[in-house]
Structure 1
């Protein structure tokens, strides 16, 4: 997966350059705000957090983050998921706090919540410009 890591680094470096050129500085650029699921996933992977993975049969095969659109525009939810019996539920709070730290470092605001079945998730949105 070294190729994937290099691609992710290059993509994130491109976003950082867009931020510099548009004057957004540390805040997410317009592209990121329009596509927060992709932008948050890219930020997490570039920050070294592993994504969850699903096998060809549709079964989850690796523990990691999953990003999905929330019920409000510009907001996403980040969950920590894994295969049945993987222990993902036991490590989710620590791993989600790690995700929140990574995202805060690149201009996203993340709040940790407890949802259905007592599972935790992050609610993430772009930090205001100029913050």
Structure 2
């Protein structure tokens, strides 16, 4: 990441990325900017969000105060929280609730993904809960249908 360029936490970044008052201010500013774009264009999600769905969904979750997961330099999961990844279909993303081995993340996933759903719906997304491999739950997220 280039210095000065804001990146929303997807849950696959280093630990500590989202800590501190400076980060919280950056998230608020980025999300406020996104809401301003929506107001000016009259669309939600905005065109940028539709081309950068992973980033847009991660920003909505981080702005809602939900914790992202994290991985260390070896790729080992070291923090419990959401992870946003590309979905199988065009314009879709998936949100998982992951944590380190033995963290209890699997037992928390239904309630925590429910919190993620609430935040995403408020932010103009549609999130549906599914069961995937090994019976782990995940959200499939796409833009909410626009009223006609």
TM-score range normalised by the length of the shorter chain: over 0.9
Alpha-carbon RMSD: 1.0
Aligned to 1:13: 32
Q: Secondary structure at the match of 1:11?
A: helix
Quick one: distance in 1 between partners of 2:138 and 2:130? 5
**Displacement after TM superposition at 1:2 (Å):** 1.4
Could you list the runs of 4 or more consecutive aligned residues of structure 1 that deviate by over 3 angstroms after TM superposition? none
Q: Distance in 1 between matches of 2:129 and 2:87?
A: 14
Which residue in 1 is equivalent to 2:139? 122
Per the TM alignment, residue 55 of structure 1 is displaced from its structure 2 partner at its CA by: 1.6
Measured in 2, the distance between the counterparts of 1:100 and 1:86 equals 22
Confirm or deny that 1:33 pairs with 2:50.
Answer: yes
Deviation at 1:60, TM superposition (A): 1.1
Mapped partners of 2:65, 2:73: distance in 1 = 24
Q: Structure 1, residues 40-74: CA drift from partner, whole Å, max 9, x if none?
A: 00000000111001122321111000011111110
Bigger helix fraction:
1
2:85 is equivalent to residue 65 of structure 1? no
Separation in 1, partners of 2:73, 2:132: 29
TM-score (norm 1): 0.95
